[in-house]
Structure 1
C-alpha cells in the first residue's frame, strides 16, 4: 500500500514471495512515473506542458499519447457530456474547501472547453528513426484534465506488470478503481462492494457485492467530492455546458469492463446521462460488461449485457 494520485493505492496478490516483491517494486516505480507524466499540478508533467504550451506542439511519452487518444474516444462516445478539456473550469471550484466557482469566470472558461480541439501527431524522428509523439491544443486557453481516465489507464498498466512478473491472482485498488485477476486462494472470486450513496466510503456500508474476475470495476458518484451551501449540494462531476454540477437522477454509477480504462472512461458518462439514457448507452456499448446505477435512496438498477453464444 502506498500513496499516489491523491489517493491510497493498495495491492493484494498471491504468488511466490520473490515474485510478489519484484512486482510490488515495479508497480511502485511505474506509478511514480505515471504521476510525473499525467499530473495536472506537477509543472513538468506531460499534461502541464501541453496546457502551458499556448497551442504549440509538445513532445510527449507514448503513454500520454495513448491515454489522451483513448480519452478523446470516450468524449466522442459520450456526445460531449464527458470532456477532458474541462481543466480551466474545474480549477475554479474547490470541493475540499467548499468554494463555488465564480459564475462570470466559469462562463469565460467554458468558451475554451472542446475535446475536439486536441490534435495528435505520430511520426518517425528525423534524428534517430524512433517514433515521435506530439500533442497540441488548438485553443491556447484550453486545458486538459485526465482525472476521469488516468487511474483506469494506470490500473491496467499495473495489472500487466503483475502478470509479467508471474503474479496471476491479485486485486488492485487505485482509490476506487478496482482491477482483479484470477481467483482468491480459496477458489472464490474477488468481490467489490457497491457504495451506498447515503453513506461515506469510510463507513463501509454497501448496497451489495459484485463478483469480479479478470475485469475491472469503477464507480463514479456524486457523493465522492461534494459540499452543501444554502441547501444545495454541489458535487464534482461538472456539466460541460454549464460548468456547474451535472443534473442527474443517478447518485452512483459502477461500470464493470475487461479493462479499467473502459470502466473509468464510461462510469462518469453513465452518471451524467441519467438513468434512462444510461441504460441505452450500456446496451449500445458491448465493452461494458455490466453497470449498476444507484439513486439517492439506495435503489439499484443492474444492467448486464446479454450472454452471447460461443
Structure 2
C-alpha cells in the first residue's frame, strides 16, 4: 500500500502532493501534475510576459478570443465577484502596481461597473487589467485534485495537495487515519503552529490568507497584497490570518481573502463558509462546525467559537 510524495516549484510556491493508493504510481505519471501546473501558470500569471493573461491585460478595449481554461477561470472570477458583493475584485491590480507589487507591464485604466464583456463568439473584452492571483492558485489546486481522482479513483485511499497554502484533502491516509492539518502561527516567532485539525472523508479544500507573509516596503511603509477594493489601500484591521474550508479551493481561497475586507466593510454580507481567524491580540475565533475537527491548539492563544 504505497504512500508517494511528489514536490515541485510553481507559482512562486512549493507544491507538495501525497497520494496514498493501493498500487505504486509510476514517476512519469506524477510529473504530469507538474506539467499541468506549468500549463495553467502560463495561462493565468500576470508576472509572465508571454502569458495569456498578460496579452489580455495589454489589449484592453479589444475583443479577444481566449482558451477554454481562461474562459472558465474568467467565468468563475465573475461568479465570485457577484457572490461576494464586490469584496473580491480582480481589478485591484492597478492598486497593487501603485504599491510597488508590479508584474508584467500593462496599461492603467479606470474600472467600470463590470469586470469584462463577452460577445456571442465567446470573445472577451477587458476595460481594465485584472489580477487572477486571488483565484488562479485555487483553480490550479482544484484542477490537480480532479486529475488525481479521474486517473486513480478506484485505487485511492486518499490524497493531499498543498499548493503553497491552498490545500485539498480527500479520503484518509493509507492506514485509515485522518489527515493532520497544521495551522501556522502568525504571532509567536518561536512557534510553528497555532492549532491542528484532523480531517477525513469527503473532499475538503483548506485555504489560508494572511497579511504577515507577503509584505514589502513602499515609501518607507510596510504594505501587503490584500487590497480593500473600496479604499484602494491594503487592509488595515486587526486580523492577521484567515483559514477557510470549502468544497473547492476557489471557494475557500476567495472567501479567506474576503473575510479581511468584510472586517473593514462591516455592512457587506457575504455567504458563509467554516473558517478560522487569528488576530494581533492573540485571539483565535473559529466556526462552531470545526469544533470536532480541532485536535490541538497552542496555549499562547485565547480561543472562542462563533
Shift of 1:244: 1.8
How many angstroms apart in 2 are the aligned matches of 1:119 and 1:301? 40
Q: Structure 1 residues 254 and 231, CA, compared in 2 at 3 Å: closer, same or farther?
A: same
Helix, strand or coil at the partner of 1:91 = helix
Which position in structure 2 is the counterpart of 1:148? 134
TM-score normalised by L of structure 2: 0.80
Q: Structure 1 residues 279 and 89, CA, compared in 2 at 3 Å: closer, same or farther?
A: closer
How many angstroms apart in 2 are the aligned matches of 1:296 and 1:26? 41
Pairs within 5 Å for 1:211-250: 211-213=198-200, 214-227=203-216, 233-250=222-239
Find 1:87's aligned residue among 85, 93, 107: 93
Which position in structure 2 is the counterpart of 1:302? 286
Aligned pairs, how many? 276
How many angstroms apart in 2 are the aligned matches of 1:255 and 1:145? 21
Contact 2:99 2:218 in 1 (8 A): no
How many angstroms apart in 1 are the aligned matches of 2:95 and 2:264? 25
How many angstroms apart in 1 are the aligned matches of 2:42 and 2:218? 35
Pairs within 5 Å for 1:1-310: 1-16=7-22, 18-19=24-25, 21-94=27-100, 112-114=110-112, 116-121=114-119, 123=121, 133-137=122-126, 139=127, 142-166=128-152, 168=156, 169-199=158-188, 205-213=192-200, 214-227=203-216, 233-274=222-263, 277=266, 281=270, 284-285=271-272, 288=273, 290-304=274-288
Shift of 1:151: 0.7
How many angstroms apart in 2 are the aligned matches of 1:155 and 1:253? 18
Q: Structure 1 residues 280 and 212, CA, compared in 2 at 3 Å: closer, same or farther?
A: farther
Name structure 2 gaps, 5 residues minimum.
1-6, 291-306
Shift of 1:122: 5.6
TM-score normalised by L of structure 1: 0.79
Shift of 1:212: 3.0
